[in-house]
Amino acid sequence: MINMKDLIKQQNNMIRKETGMVKKESINERLKRFKVYVSGESEPLVLMGKNEKDVKETALQMIQNSSIKIKKVVKESKLNEVDFSKIKLPSQVNRFLNKFVDSMKDANLNRMKRASILYKVINASGMSIQQLMADIQKIKKELK
């Protein structure tokens, strides 16, 4: 049996597609944030657009001065997106971490021993379960 709520949502979506009316969420999903660096300005302009070309055209229209030039346009990463390779660790931690990772690779450990090592590291970090699950989701996205 078809739920009345689902039927109404379906019809509303069809009408929106036909008339060109779109929800705000779907508009924002298509637009991306870009930083536009302009000569003579220390801070970049933050603009939204579909691609770099679209954003550059918008910036040129906003400036309306031929003497000012656009240096570069950079796509802004998501606010919750993390690049783990760019995070700077303290030198002592980084040195021991590299030794630790190398020794784990050389040891050829089975699954239970690797799990035991992860347990000890997570336990020593003092993370809550909620924080651990949130960090695991971020790590999974980075590994994909």
Same domain membership, residue 69 and residue 105: no
- In our burial notation (b when 16+ CB lie closer than 10 A, e otherwise), range 45-65 reads bebebeeeebbbebbeeeeee
Report if residue 139 sits inside a domain: yes
What pLDDT does residue 77 have?
60
Contacts of 15 (CB under 8 A, 6+ apart): 21
Instruction: Examine the pLDDT at 23 and tell me if it is beyond 70.
Output: no
pLDDT, tens digit, for every residue of 86-96?
788 899 999 99
What is the number of alpha carbons within 13 Å of residue 52 lying toward its C-beta? 8
Residues 64 and 92 in one domain: no
At residue 111, the pLDDT reads: 93
- What letters, b where the CB count within 10 A reaches 16 and e where it falls short, cover 68-91? eeeeebeeeeeeeeeeeeeeeeee
On whether both 66 and 112 belong to a single domain, the answer is: no
Q: Is the same domain home to 67 and 97?
A: no
Kindly state whether residue 12 falls inside one of the protein's structural domains: no
Residue 16 included in any domain: no
55 and 97 housed in the same domain:
no
- How much is the pTM? 0.43
Domain that residue 56 falls in: 23-75
**How far is residue 1's CA from residue 6's CA, in Å, rounded to a whole number?**
11
Q: Judge if 89 and 123 occupy the same domain.
A: yes
Q: What total of structural domains would you count in the chain?
A: 2
Residues 99 and 134 in one domain: yes
Residue pair 79/46 in contact by the 8 Å Cβ criterion = no
SS3 sequence, 68-113?
CCEEEEEECCCCCCCCHHHCCCCHHHHHHHHHHHHHHHHHCCCHHH
Q: Please return the burial class of 125, using the count of CB atoms within 10 Å of its CB with bins 0-12, 13-18 and 19+.
A: exposed
131 occurs within a structural domain: yes
Do 70 and 33 belong together in one domain?
yes
Residue 58 sits in the same domain as residue 29:
yes
Mean pLDDT of all residues in the chain? 79
State whether 62 and 103 are in the same domain: no
**Residue 134 shares a structural domain with residue 109:** yes
